[in-house]
Chains A and B, each alone.
Chain A
Amino acid sequence: MNALVPLPVILPLLGAGLTLMLSRRPGLQRAVSTTVLAVVVVVAAILVYQADQHGPQVIAIGAWQESLGISLVADRLSAVMLLVSAIVTLAVLVYSIGQGMTGDEHETPVTIYHPTFLVLSAGVSNAFLAGDLFNLFVSFEILLFASYVLLTLGGTGARIRAGTIYVVVNVLSSSLFLISLAAVYAATGSLNLAQLAGRLDDLPGSVALLLQLLLLTTFAIKAAVFPLSFWLPDSYPTAPAPVTAVFAGLLTKVGVYAIIRTQTLLFPDSPLTDLLLWAALLTLVVGILGAVAQTEMKRMLSFTLVSHIGYMVFGIALGTMAGYSGAIFYVVHHITIQTALFLVLGLIERQAGSTSLIKLGGLARYAPLLAVLYFVPAMNLAGIPPMSGFLGKVALTEGGLQVGTPLAYTVVAAGMVTSLLTLYAVAKAWNLAFWRTPGQAHEMAQELSDPTGWPGSREVVQHRGHVHVGANTFGARDLDEARSILDEDDDSHQDFHQRIEAGTVPSRLPRTMVGATAALIAFSLALTVAAGPVFDYTGRAARDILDRGIYVSSVLGEGSR
């Protein structure tokens, strides 16, 4: 019994109510939500310590008997997910306060931003702590509802278009989740994870396999595992920058967490290694090929997000201690780094008015700090030694080589290729957005706007509906964009060069935004420095989840193992 366990859920929910009441006092609203999330970080840190020292921390809500009521459980895995997610949400909240909530107040009702954000945080915490499947479903709904609102903030055309797909896909996956819950309950008469761990073993193999596949499909939609990842790159980029950042960091990882939890606790004897390895392979390769083709940085990062989910699925698919340990480390690394990168994109948008590679150029000279803030997490994402991305990939590779089946070797190779292609994608963005001058960017836009008008230029080649300029390829959408830049009558599509000419570039960025981003990047570097202890911890977490007796006996009491 530990009264701290429910606090990461209760506090943000209370905070949400309070901030809703304070909607006319923005100052107080900010103070309340920042305080609440800071307290959640502290609570989560204490939980990590307690779970590590004294085993899983459990509370039975309402003091109901263990098997009847709802229990919240914080074991090593839950606690570390909780801590990282709390740190990331706090950083994003501070960032969005610096930005003036979402950066587009003229089309966004700001009063609901703070309450919704806190509800999202409560839903994510509840998902990590849930000790039974129905509570997991409810927490998914809590965080999804908050995400529906945040994704369609302001109801602009693009957000409604993206939101429609997002909402329908997620409602569908929730229905699938409910179907699996009904099936699990009909088969076992319980939804408590610890009880299920024992009861599912007694089921006929085919029934258990059906339940496992139902749950896996549900969580694979949430985690954006190929081929169920189609919805993600289309819906994330339209939201305000901080919203995209927190979605990219947390929401897919909640799905990954749910996969880890159900795979280890409920179905340890049937890891479906081959199926998951294939899913990991395809997620890695298809995702990164999508990223390489993008000329919009937000879309590019959304595709790398899908792709790197493949690494975590790879670790889960191996089903070994090394695999789980690597997967947990990679989740921690990826939550931090992906959020940091999206926050940097928000800064770029603020500085240069766009995140399109057609419009950007010369940022390294005009905003050197911004360049550093982009470069470090981008290299970390690609896995350049000695950063945490590299260490996570090494751990997963070692795990794959230990298993040593041909398919595992293939996925390891695909992981290497993905790492290189990630480097290519982020380096392409670096070259175009940061390294060339704004003038060069403008010239390229001119060439693109009329590719046939430059017969003398060896660099511009038109070919089957797209245009090659040097080593870069641009599609029809990019040509339209280039034309809109050069449209004299339309000031809404200016590139960075034109903005500098017009003098509309902000001279400096808000300090809180830069500070929050820098803090998150510093945290990711700290993960690199402290990688030894962190790996020890994830190793212990992996050992815990592989020996499910620890979880079961701490929830149901000794003697029930």
Chain B
Amino acid sequence: MSTSLSLILAAAAMIGCGVYLILERSLTRVLVGLVMLGNGVNLLFLISSGPAGRAPIVGGGDGAMSDPLPQALVLTAIVISLATTAFILAMAYRSWQLTGGDNVQDDVEDAAIRRLALTDQASDSFDLSRQGDADDDLDVPEEEGRPA
């Protein structure tokens, strides 16, 4: 089966950018990343349906016809990702209402371990002068725009 290289490259680029954005702290950027990732995956389905330009599956015919199933699968995937997007947007908005930012907050366990490291006087490997990471959470906009 011959496939279009441009589709593969486009899918790879979108999935790559998507993964990069998902690693961000802001939920809105994560969301954009998830949308890009989802669209990249949809391109993969187009690749799996074979080369473009074949006749659609209508009535009978002798020539090669395009496979309709991947398109049906992509449609389902698009509908699901639409719902996901709406839900995450709502969550990001709620997070902004509650905390004044949409930064993904630390795992409770991670935060506990970091606090342990900060209070651990016996450890020489932990440099107390470099605590930059601990302030990441505080780096959110002030709560001036927050509705009552």
Flag B115-133 by CB within 8 Å of A: 1 or 0 each.
1100111100000000000
Which residues does chain B contribute within 8 Å of A465, judged by CB atoms?
115-116, 119-120
Q: Is B4 an interface residue (CB 8 A)?
A: no
Which residues does chain A contribute within 8 Å of B107, judged by CB atoms?
165, 230, 234
B98 touches A160 (CB 8 A): yes
B112 partner, pick from A164, A168, A171, A476, beta carbons under 8 A:
A476
Q: Quick one: closest A residue to B18, CB to CB?
A: A175
A178 partner, pick from B41, B99, B109, B116, beta carbons under 8 A:
B41
A464 touches B121 (CB 8 A): yes
B84 touches A182 (CB 8 A): no
A165 partner, pick from B67, B104, B121, beta carbons under 8 A:
B104
A164 touches B99 (CB 8 A): no
Cα separation A134 to B83 with both chains bound (whole Å): 18
Of the candidate stretches B30-38, B56-64, B139-147, the one touching chain A is B30-38
Minimal beta-carbon separation of B75 from chain A (angstroms): 12
Which residues does chain B contribute within 8 Å of A290, judged by CB atoms?
109
Minimal beta-carbon separation of A346 from chain B (angstroms): 20
B87 touches A175 (CB 8 A): no
Cα separation A147 to B26 with both chains bound (whole Å): 23
Cα separation A233 to B104 with both chains bound (whole Å): 17
State which size class the interface on B falls in.
35 or more
A161 touches B105 (CB 8 A): yes
Minimal beta-carbon separation of B139 from chain A (angstroms): 17
Flag B20-60 by CB within 8 Å of A: 1 or 0 each.
00100001001000100110010011011000000000000
Q: Is B148 an interface residue (CB 8 A)?
A: no
B48 touches A182 (CB 8 A): yes
Cα separation A211 to B47 with both chains bound (whole Å): 16
Q: Is A179 an interface residue (CB 8 A)?
A: yes
A182 touches B122 (CB 8 A): no
Which residues does chain B contribute within 8 Å of A233, judged by CB atoms?
109
B30 touches A168 (CB 8 A): yes
Which residues does chain B contribute within 8 Å of A134, judged by CB atoms?
73, 76
Flag A129-151 by CB within 8 Å of B: 1 or 0 each.
00000100010010001001000
Residue count of chain A within 8 Å CB distance of chain B: 37
Given contacts A186-B47, A465-B115, contact A234 B91 (CB under 8 A): no
B91 partner, pick from A145, A152, A179, A475, beta carbons under 8 A:
A152
Minimal beta-carbon separation of A494 from chain B (angstroms): 22
Cα separation A480 to B29 with both chains bound (whole Å): 33
Q: Is A155 an interface residue (CB 8 A)?
A: yes
Given contacts A167-B87, A175-B38, A181-B73, contact A155 B48 (CB under 8 A): no
B45 touches A185 (CB 8 A): yes
Q: Is A27 an interface residue (CB 8 A)?
A: no
Which residues does chain A contribute within 8 Å of B112, judged by CB atoms?
475-477
Which residue among A167, A182, A476 has the maximum number of chain B CB atoms within 10 Å of its CB? A182
Which residues does chain A contribute within 8 Å of B38, judged by CB atoms?
175, 178
Q: Is A163 an interface residue (CB 8 A)?
A: yes
Cα separation A324 to B28 with both chains bound (whole Å): 43
Q: Quick one: closest A residue to B1, CB to CB?
A: A186
Flag A5-45 by CB within 8 Å of B: 1 or 0 each.
00000000000000000000000000000000000000000
Cα separation A477 to B115 with both chains bound (whole Å): 9
B109 partner, pick from A138, A160, A183, A234, beta carbons under 8 A:
A234
A141 touches B80 (CB 8 A): yes
A160 touches B95 (CB 8 A): yes
Cα separation A157 to B105 with both chains bound (whole Å): 11
Q: Quick one: closest B residue to A156, CB to CB?
A: B98
Given contacts A152-B91, A167-B87, contact A175 B47 (CB under 8 A): no
A182 touches B47 (CB 8 A): yes
Q: Quick one: closest A residue to B103, CB to CB?
A: A164
Flag A338-381 by CB within 8 Å of B: 1 or 0 each.
00000000000000000000000000000000000000000000
Flag A105-129 by CB within 8 Å of B: 1 or 0 each.
0000000000000000000000000
Which residues does chain B contribute within 8 Å of A138, judged by CB atoms?
76, 80
Given contacts A160-B94, A163-B91, A464-B120, contact A182 B44 (CB under 8 A): yes
Q: Is B13 an interface residue (CB 8 A)?
A: no
A171 partner, pick from B45, B84, B104, B109, beta carbons under 8 A:
B84
Cα separation A466 to B112 with both chains bound (whole Å): 11
Q: Quick one: closest B residue to A157, CB to CB?
A: B98
Minimal beta-carbon separation of B7 from chain A (angstroms): 12
Given contacts A167-B88, A476-B116, contact A182 B41 (CB under 8 A): yes
Which residues does chain B contribute within 8 Å of A526, judged by CB atoms?
none
Cα separation A393 to B34 with both chains bound (whole Å): 40
B27 touches A164 (CB 8 A): yes
Q: Is B77 an interface residue (CB 8 A)?
A: yes
Q: Is B5 an interface residue (CB 8 A)?
A: no
Which residues does chain A contribute within 8 Å of B138, judged by CB atoms?
none
Minimal beta-carbon separation of B107 from chain A (angstroms): 5
A164 touches B91 (CB 8 A): yes
Cα separation A178 to B77 with both chains bound (whole Å): 8
| 4 smallest beta-carbon distances between A and B, as pairs | A186-B48, A465-B119, A182-B44, A465-B116
A-B contact pairs, 15 of them (CB 8 A): A138-B80, A155-B98, A157-B98, A160-B95, A167-B88, A168-B22, A168-B88, A172-B37, A178-B38, A181-B73, A182-B44, A182-B45, A464-B120, A465-B115, A476-B112
